[in-house]
Amino acid sequence: MKFLYKMVKAMTALGAVVALVTFSNRPVIAASCCGGGSSASLVLPKFAKLMLDVSVEHEVYDGFWNSRGEFTKDPAGSDLRQLRLNAGSAFRLHDNIQMFVAIPYVINLNRYTGVQSTTYGAGDVSLGFNFELFNDIRCVYRVLSLEDLLPAAYLGAKVTLPTGISPYDNVPRSFDITGLGFYTFAASLLVDKTIKSWNLSLGASYSFSAERPVNREYGRYIEPYKIQAGGKWNLTASTGYTFSLESMDSITATIGYGFIKEGYARIDGKDNPLSGFQKPNLVAGLAFATADQNDVIKLNHSFHLPVDGWGFNRPNTNTTTLEYSHVFR
């Protein structure tokens, strides 16, 4: 009953969160060394035993950048969007070791140059570990010594399984895929520090994929070849401020910046110069947390500037995410 009461209380506060997002001129995302994260990268708070996480992502495609960085809008009347329903969990295996799993379900709703399609199916499942490189809580109210400046640091390892529908399966269009089709391995580092109401998070990850055979592209059988996706760097930085309410609940406002760069794919051992991409993105959002920080609701928006030079060889997307997580201590 206590858990249900807290869940209802958190959902009731969502109206205030949405109102703040609508009327505030300060775009934000949530950040906290005391736990959180999206379904794709779950981080369990220190000393907590289990976290359950659900989220809904709405991604809208509107134009693309070519290999020279020139931006072009989609044809008039086009409407390309994807919904992702994510269920995730993180649980503690040891004092400083936690494991996580994320299971997505993808819905594509597309209209492009007169062709309309709706497809849905499982996405690519991810699972991995986070190793905590610290032994106590790193959130401090004030700095009294050099030790108080030490951040919380997490070293992560993740594998993504090709459980979704990829371009190499029986699917007619690129708009209908729900996964990438590769076994992908990633290593990451997250550094997070909270002092009183301010938070700063820095993250970096590198991922690479195993080579796979291909004899079909978008449902059409072709001459067999082997392909390996390019290595990918993902760098993020965010800062946030937490407002405490009279009830001891809190609202955290955060802004962030990310940069993704993927190298050339390799076909039969040779680089494909038509592949690879890079794209920065801006993120803004709010998070509501109950006083005990066991229930958190996040509303984030990731967006890009549709101008020349902002991206290379990549579509322009805007993604809104609504996420709820509950921690068991």
- Give the pLDDT confidence of 142-159 residue by residue, as tens digits: 888 888 888 999 999 999
Q: Are strands 277-289 and 270-272 parallel, antiparallel or unpaired?
A: unpaired
* Helix/strand/coil for 69: coil
Ordered DSSP codes for 142-170: S--SGGGGPPEEEEEEEEE---S--TTSS
What is residue 176's predicted lDDT score, i.e. its pLDDT? 82
| Cα 38 from Cα 228, distance rounded (Å) | 27
What is residue 215's predicted lDDT score, i.e. its pLDDT? 92
* Helix/strand/coil for 2: helix
- Give the pLDDT confidence of 280-312 residue by residue, as tens digits: 999 999 999 999 889 999 999 999 988 998 889
| Cα 217 from Cα 90, distance rounded (Å) | 35
| Cα 95 from Cα 90, distance rounded (Å) | 14
What is residue 202's predicted lDDT score, i.e. its pLDDT? 94
Residue 208 pLDDT > 90, yes or no?
A: yes
- Give the pLDDT confidence of 246-271 residue by residue, as tens digits: 899 999 999 999 999 999 999 999 99
Q: Which residues contact 19 (CB under 8 A, 6 or more apart)?
A: none
209 beta partners: 184
Are the C-beta atoms of 253 and 28 separated by less than 8 Å?
yes
Residue 2 pLDDT > 50, yes or no?
A: no
